[in-house]
Structure 1
Amino acid sequence: MAGMTVIPFPTTPECMDRRIIVTGCDSAYFVLVVELIASVRAHMATPIAVIDCGMTAQQVASLHQQGIRVLAPYIPDYTPQHILRRRPSLGINICKLWLDRMLPDCDLILWLDADTWVQDGMAIERLFAAANSGTLAIVPEIGAKRADLLGVRWICPGWMQIRSFLYKNATRARLSFAIRRRIGAKPLLNAGVFCLHRKATIWPVLRRWQEMILPRRNTAFTQDQLCMALAVYIDGLPVTFLDNSHNYLGPWLLDETTGQLANLFFPHPPVGIVHMASQKAMRAALENTMSVPTVQGGQATVNLRYGAMRLRRAAATAP
């Protein structure tokens, strides 16, 4: 694209099985990444990479000792620098749309936010399988998470204002009303979990939208989700939707017999990938808990983090 300078990426060690799981963090989120890695390793030996946006030298060294690849963030030249001065970790959101360039030796790239963890390894396999043909494998925010498909504000009988995530963010990016109208009632594509083939045709389209949106929105937060929605809903790039178990944001339900988090929908199968978005207190400390209903009809006090749920499951399945 004219006006865009692409800096050559450094060579990286070969990705032996051509699949990789990628996340990113700063020093504050490092403990969550450690738990995410442990949750993946409990199911598979797929290579893992972490984008370093503020980890300490000791934290980086500990990842290297576990065989984890640590990547420097790639920040394109159209990024307003004041965005990252205020909050350097937002570089992770920008990097998501450059993973094919950052990992040229890997074919299938699965992104997991630092505040996710894997409860069922088959969710990972299904994401890889869905993306293998070059389609964007992602979970739309519909279903159990919310009763209403989109937010509205009633003005008077017969008149309402759309207040969906996509409509508001497209407005802040100063996109045309024609675009806002086309995406305003569409479900958000949650960029906390997605999978793409390195040769998928959507990558350059995502970056074209990013180059337009990032300077206009004046923030990197959630621009990745807006770019994905525009590439799918406006440009018509191929997408494969997976059910909410592959990026589960709640409502939370516990199966007391297994000690696992269960899907709200009957027959309440185990959640595949837990996403602790909006759970700031629990992310910060294992002792912070919440009360959730159980499949058996009771109530339980839980912390949603992998460290806490692993202990609960061990207790539930102990002889």
Structure 2
Amino acid sequence: MTAPASPATQTCTDHRIIVTGCDSTYFVLVAELVASIRAYRPTPIGVIDCGMTPDQRATLHAQGIRVLPPFIPDYAPRRALRRRPSLGINISKLWLDRMLPEFDLILWLDADTWVQDGMAVERLFAAARSGTLAIVPEIGAKRADLLGVRWICPGWMQIRSFLYKNAARARLPFSIRRRIGAKPLLNAGVFCLHRQAPIWPVLRRWQALILPRRNMAFTQDQLCMALAVYIDGLPVTFLDNSHNYLGPWLLDEATGQLANLFFPHAPVGIVHMASQKAMRAALDNTMPVPTVQGGQVALNLRYGAMRLCRTAAVG
């Protein structure tokens, strides 16, 4: 497939868009994500369609939401995409500047995220305005260990980090694996970039190298971003974990909002339900969540459930 044409130079008007993607199964999550965005600001929204039904596409069109076909470059693994069409979403992330040439700032939010505090969105847009990659590194409260290791014997260990394992699977040279292996993962579930940011072609250069290699379609977006930042030195602005919060989970019973584990337990900005398959599937599925006040509640982390929780707390 021919790459989308590079847009002609335009006057920068700071037009913004929030983009996500889904198939028919994740449509309900995208509907909740859209509701959470529009609860604070009428920002334009685009959804990459990798398997929605005609009725689902019509529902989005009726809300003024752009439905976008995925962009699949010629070097993409066709067999993997036939088995799992939703992989086209991850591949398309690195082509958004070409897919949306009329927008200056593009914020990506995975389908299993939702916005609890609109200021987090504003800060992501502000961080990306100068052409830097605005993204959250996976460090801090999510995990006790900064990176995984396997101890072989006293004084000897093997690094088991996401970046090291995926760089090895992509058959990248050891010199590259060594440089990125101990670096924090840059979580591609939430990121923001200016259309003219210098990182776009670098991301696609790495994608063209990595994507044809076996089993790399699902993780290539995060690996490409890490390589562009840690190996090529492209500019990046790190935001704290409240802008892409993956847990540990904490509820403030006084406000009915999810709170950051770190004191003073400020409200989480963007909730990311990665690895929460049961809760993503049904609002009835819950997990025990401690509270700021010292208690514990059974909670579903989805926007639909948390909206009811907040209404009960403030009502």
| Superposition TM-score tier, normalisation by shorter sequence | over 0.9
Matched, 1:173 2:173: no
1:246 to 239, 243, 246: 243
Give the one of 288, 291, 294 matched to 1:291: 288
Partners of 1:295 and 1:305 lie apart in 2 by 19
Q: What is the aligned partner in structure 2 of residue 21 from structure 1?
A: 18
Shift of 1:94: 0.1
Shift of 1:218: 3.2
For residues 17 and 238 of structure 1, do their structure 2 counterparts lie closer, same or farther at Cα, with a shift above 3 Å needed? closer
Q: Which amino acid aligns with 1:289?
A: T
Counterpart residue number, 1:265: 262
Aligned partner letter, 2:123: R
Query: How do 1:43-58 residues align onto structure 2 when only pairs under 5 Å count?
Result: 43-58=40-55
Partner Cα separation in structure 2 for residue 197 and residue 83 of structure 1: 30
Q: Which residue of 1 aligns with 2:300?
A: 303
- Shift in alpha-carbon separation, 1:7–1:99, aligned structure 2, 3 A: closer
Superposition deviation, residue 222 in structure 1: 1.3
Residue in 2 that maps onto 1:69: 66
Q: 1:82 and 2:82 equivalent?
A: no
Structure 1: any 5+ residue segments left out of the alignment?
Answer: none
Deviation at residue 121 of structure 1 after TM alignment: 0.1
Partner of 2:27: 30
Alignment gaps of 5+ in structure 2: none
Give SS of 1:31's match: helix
* SS across alignment from 2:196: coil
Aligned-pair distance for 1:219?
A: 3.3
Deviation at 1:17, TM superposition (A): 6.0
CA contact (8 A) 1:291 1:302 kept: yes
**Counterpart residue number, 1:200:** 197
> Share of identical aligned residues, percent?
84
In the TM superposition, what whole-angstrom CA distance separates every residue of 1:199-244 from its partner, at most 9, and x where no partner exists?
A: 0000000000000000113331011000000000000000000000
- Relative to the length of structure 1, the TM-score reads 0.96
Cα-Cα RMSD: 1.5
Structure 1 position 144, deviation (Å) = 0.1
Deviation string, structure 1 residues 272-306 (Cα, Å, up to 9, x no partner): 00000000000000000000100000101100000
Letter in 1 for 2:233: G
Asked if 1 retains the 8 angstrom alpha-carbon contact of 2:170 and 2:216, the reply is no
Aligned-partner Cα distance in 1 for 2:61–2:31: 12
Q: 1: CA distance between counterparts of 2:247 and 2:293? A: 18
What is the Cα deviation at residue 48 of structure 1?
0.3
| Equivalent residue pairs, number | 312
Indicate if the aligned counterparts of 2:33 and 2:114 stay in contact, CA closer than 8 A: yes
1:95 corresponds, among 92, 97, 101, to 92
Rounded to whole Å, the distance in 2 between the matches of 1:217 and 1:243 is 33
Structure 2 length-normalised TM: 0.97
1:145-177 deviation per Cα after TM superposition (whole angstroms, max 9, x unaligned):
001110000000000000000000000000000
Q: Aligned AA for 1:80?
A: P
Q: Which letter maps to 1:131? A: A
